[in-house]
Amino acid sequence: MPSATPSASSSKAAAKAARAAPVRIENAWVRAAPPGTDMLAGYMDVRNVGNRALRLVAADSDAFGLVELHRSLMSGGMSSMRPAGAQDIPAGGSLQIHAGGLHWMLMEPRHDLKVGDAVAFTLHFADGSVARAVARVAQQAPASTGTSNQVCPGHRSGMINGSTGCVGAAIQPLQ
């Protein structure tokens, strides 16, 4: 019969899972959609402010049944998207999750969202650390991103780089 008291190893795992990742989430937003829509898209910049590389492996949100990172592709004049899988973010670098490239596919909404609503996200990293952030629902990218719903100027969409471009008012991670 299993013990009701957690083992030392499971307690360490739980503590490690709750450790805050050394990241800053900026320019987070969710594209507004008509009521009843079964899929939305989310965007943000994830800046690694730590001194070692991080691997973003998953995200979740209480507002959605499923959250996946996807990549938009253009081939032969046709656009498509595919799951992007885990993404490495070098120390001091950032991962741009913007319209037209990497984006969060937000599936199975638990309720309709309207412009101005707040959506909480938890990002999960391979080392067990997490980052929590809040994104606002909007019709278009916040002006502070400089993207105008397009790829951040000077960057390839979804590319990881060491620059600080495309930053505006930061949405501070929740601790």
| pLDDT at residue number 143 | 74
| pLDDT at residue number 3 | 41
| pLDDT at residue number 144 | 58
| pLDDT at residue number 5 | 40
CA trace torsion 160, 163, 167, 173 (10° rounding): 60
What is the model's pTM?
A: 0.72
pLDDT 10s digit of each residue in the chain, 175 long? 444 444 444 434 444 446 999 999 999 999 999 999 999 999 999 999 999 999 999 999 999 999 999 999 888 888 888 999 999 999 999 999 999 899 999 999 999 999 999 999 999 999 999 999 999 999 988 875 544 333 333 233 332 223 223 332 233 333 3
Q: What gap in Å lies between CA 5 and CA 7, rounded to an integer?
A: 6
- Collapsing DSSP to helix, strand or coil, 162 comes out as coil
| pLDDT at residue number 6 | 43
Domains, the chain: 14-156 (2.60.40.1890)
CB 145 within 8 A of CB 166: yes
